Amino acid sequence: MQQAMVIMNPSSGKAEARDYIRAAEEVLQGAGYQVTVQETAGEGDATAFCLQACAECYDLVVAIGGDGTLHETMNGLTDQQHRPTLGIVPMGTVNDFARALQIPLVPEEAIQSLASPRTRRVDMGRLNDRLFVNVVAAGSLAGSLSSVSSEDKSRLGFLAYLKEGIKELTSNTAHTLTITHDGEIWEGSSPLFIAALTNSVGGFEKLAPAAAVDDGLLHCFIVKDLHLLNSVTVSISLLLGNLRNHKDVIYFTAKEVTVRSAEPVQTNVDGEQGPPLPIRLSTIPRHIQVVVPED
């Protein structure tokens, strides 16, 4: 019998994740899996559980939670000799990675899709010595989004990020960044740098319309100006999927990127606080196999 480990974050989805455990077990057992359930209690638990699944040669690991839980789970797959297939039940505020793979955002539907025979190999990103799932942002706006509390995420959903972003826009704080990519160098003042692996960032599925989960590229945006009035036109471009052509945005694709600053600059990685600059980013093409819904 095949082995499946379910890693569940009980605080995800307005603390409703536990309600779906039994349904997930039933679907997986019906698909021929013996199921082990692991519940996270703190930071790093999902990674530790996933490492255990790799060491014990589990066939499938299912992450039930938000982008942060998924980020931790997938970090447990880093450079492992045996990497289980990954299943995803999105329960968070934004669920960008699930959106990019067209995994249902309704938990009941996502659970049913765990029995799908269809899988897809997807890229991963490497930030210094760890993996990231979807996006890395650097700058004053990225730092402010890291301060969104778990309570606000549960209570307000995506509006929690919007509230913090608006507060930061009014201050118009920018930092001098040096960005090197595939032999080219850009240096200038910017409130926000984004490197995305998929087309969905912060719930906006048109940030990088050309991005695919298996194209081996980082899709990068340098925002040169984001004062309050200009942010309106940036937002319109974002909603229309035309951000790359905005006059105050530089867009490029790359396989390797480094970002530095002489000033203290915070990063946001998959919706959570990341390391301060400098950072080194790269792609690991088609690194992980993910269960996706049948066509």
DSSP of 187-224: EEEESEEEEESSS-BTTBTTSSTT--TTS--EEEEEE-
Class of residue 206 by CB neighbours under 10 A (exposed 0-12, middle 13-18, buried 19+): middle
Indicate which residues carry an active-site annotation: 272
Quick check: 125 and 283 in contact, CB under 8 A? yes
Per-residue pLDDT, averaged over 224-247, amounts to: 53
Question: Residue 143: pLDDT band by 50, 70, 90 thresholds?
Answer: low
Per-residue pLDDT, averaged over 233-259, amounts to: 70
Q: What's the pTM?
A: 0.81
Task: Say yes or no to pLDDT of 239 above 70.
Answer: no
pLDDT score recorded for residue 149: 52
Specify the 3-state DSSP secondary structure of 267: strand
Question: Residue 105: pLDDT band by 50, 70, 90 thresholds?
Answer: very high
In the chain, at which residue ranges do the beta strands (DSSP E only) sit? Answer: 2-8, 33-39, 60-65, 85-90, 119-127, 130-132, 135-138, 175-181, 184-190, 192-196, 218-223, 249-254, 256-260, 267-269, 272-273, 279-291
pLDDT score recorded for residue 174: 84
Mean pLDDT over each residue of the chain, to the nearest integer: 84
pLDDT score recorded for residue 84: 98
pLDDT, tens digit (0-9, with 9 covering 90-100), for 1-47: 899 999 999 887 665 778 899 999 999 999 999 999 999 999 999 99
Of residues 168 and 56, more confidence is placed in 56
pLDDT score recorded for residue 242: 53
Task: Say yes or no to pLDDT of 226 above 90.
Answer: no
Question: Residue 88: pLDDT band by 50, 70, 90 thresholds?
Answer: very high
Of residues 283 and 146, more confidence is placed in 283
Of residues 194 and 170, more confidence is placed in 194
Class of residue 38 by CB neighbours under 10 A (exposed 0-12, middle 13-18, buried 19+): middle
